[in-house]
A and B are shown apart, each in its own frame.
Chain A
Amino acid sequence: MTVPDELRYTEEHEWVSAGAREGTLRVGITEYAQDQLGDVVFVDLPETGTTVTAGEPFGEIESTKSVSELFAPVDGEVTAVNEAVTEAPEVINSDPYGEGWLIEITPADPAAVDGLLDAEAYQKLIEG
């Protein structure tokens, strides 16, 4: 299961990277998460401008079998939403760290990302 070194992670199986625009963070779900979910068939994402709170749900993701919440990694405001995954949610399975990204957030505190898990810690988490 791929856990890219350069990303940060949450215990809820989201990943975080630098966003497309300066000062933003991009958020998706990990390869492990999509594997556990199975085929993703629906994703419900917030609109840009929505305020999100670390550890609180910002959206939902549904596979054939299950419904799961998506959790914000940090406090902030949603500045971009990947509309492509709403149209074709299967890209979350095929490319979870790339085309399958979900939202971008401008964090309230730019340093908050440092409090997230690094790749090594996340790897340990999923190996249980």
Chain B
Amino acid sequence: MTATGKPSPLYEVHHDLGATFTEFAGWTMPVRYSSDLAEHRAVRQAAGMFDLSHMGEIEVTGSQAGQALDYAVVGTVSTLKPGKARYTMLCAEDGGVMDDLVVYRLAEDRFLVVANAANVTVVAEALTERAARFSGATVTDRSAEYALIAVQGPASPEIVRAVCDADVDGLKYYSAAPAQVTGHDVLLSRTGYTGEDGFELYCAPDHAAEVWAKLAEVGKPHDLLPAGLAARDTLRLEAGMPLYGNELSREVTPFDAGLGRIVKLDKEGGFVGREALAARAGRPDEKALIGLRGTGRRAPRAGYPVLGPDGPIGHVTSGALSPTLGYPVAMAYVDAGFREPGTELQVDVRGKQLPVEVVELPFYRRS
């Protein structure tokens, strides 16, 4: 199988490690190195290192950058202090989710918006269009200027502490600070998508291989493993984190996804999608994003119908045999009447019916 997407700046490194590649959002990225289960476990028990260079980085700068972003996304970012980050979403006029984002305030007049690889163009265009009414805000797609390496897992603070000069212990969750690794500037952020403590290091593509090598070397005695997109997906699923294209899409609002709390309806100056989202907030839920627990080894998968006593009530958005828990887990959108934990439902696996039970999200929470 030959992947034909854009290679990551770390492609050669992955190739030398014997990675299996996949095409993802137009990029050729490592799906696994040896065993996705081993990589998953490494992140839960020690540490794993991911290449996320496919993610998009868009800068919004200027004296009105904060105001422009407040108007463009559903959350309030203008109140962030420099060095802090926030999870938010970009919605369409009708309230549909265009992407989920992490926004960093790097300086008073400088924000970095991190978008999913598949949505970079959409996000950059929407931000540019929405910022146009603010003379003091400029939007620039800087994706090509950033590589991104994540180190995730309980051993990650020790590893990161050993490679850089930053105050790692003082760096709180959803904070970022400039740091140096092997003499190169990085933006060190305490964020992740695995349900573990962890860090993300943004650096120049030309420096990525050196930063990766240093982390690998320092991480070795801590049982750090390089980890691919397959492990990333099962990790985020166990942690109940939504994935754009699965749980999030133009067809759902943040409220449908159970993330209504990130929508700041009352913020000053309004925002794109406010009217539709305010109306949605005032209506009872029609559907709900829920967790499902199965039995045996066969997992409900994305797209499989979920059945109630009288037929279809929704569909699975993500599912896998949970490597940590040992039983199948899935997320699904169902009619809101079936959302209560303990409700017994079925998943239709091409004609065969699999019993499942509604459970609270997340499936896994670190202790």
List A residues at the B interface (Cβ < 8 Å).
35-36, 38-39, 41-42, 44, 62-65, 67, 89, 93, 128
Contacts and interface: CB of A to CB of B under 8 A. Distances in A.
B2 interface: yes
15 contacts: A35-B20, A36-B20, A38-B31, A38-B32, A38-B35, A41-B321, A42-B321, A62-B299, A63-B36, A64-B234, A65-B320, A67-B301, A93-B35, A128-B1, A128-B2
The 4 closest A-B pairs by CB, nearest first: A42-B297, A39-B37, A41-B321, A65-B230
A38 B234 contact: no
B62 interface: no
B142 interface: no
Interface string B1-24: 110000000000000000010000
A95 B88 CA distance: 46
A36 B22 CA distance: 10
A92 to B, nearest CB: 13
* Chain B at the A interface: SS class: mixed
B324 to A, nearest CB: 12
A41 B36 CA distance: 11
A40 B299 CA distance: 12
B323 A64 contact: yes
Interface in B20-46: 20, 31-32, 35-37, 40
Contacts of B230: 38, 64-65
Interface of B: 1-2, 20, 31-32, 35-37, 40, 230, 233-234, 296-299, 301, 320-321, 323
B88 to A, nearest CB: 29
A44 B298 contact: yes
Contacts of B35: 38-39, 93
Nearest to B301: A67
A64 B31 contact: no
A64 B36 contact: yes
A38 B36 contact: yes
Contacts of A89: 297
A28 to B, nearest CB: 19
Contacts of B299: 41-42, 62
Contacts of A63: 36
B177 to A, nearest CB: 34
A116 B35 CA distance: 30
A63 B40 CA distance: 14
A64 to B, nearest CB: 5
B53 to A, nearest CB: 20
B36 A39 contact: yes
A93 B2 CA distance: 21
Contacts of A41: 37, 297, 299, 321
B1 A36 contact: yes
Nearest to A89: B297
B36 A65 contact: yes
A22 B230 CA distance: 42
Nearest to A127: B2
A64 B298 contact: no
Nearest to B231: A64
B20 A38 contact: yes
A7 B343 CA distance: 50
A104 B298 CA distance: 23
Given A38-B230, A39-B37, A41-B297, A64 B321 contact: yes
A94 to B, nearest CB: 10
Nearest to B37: A39
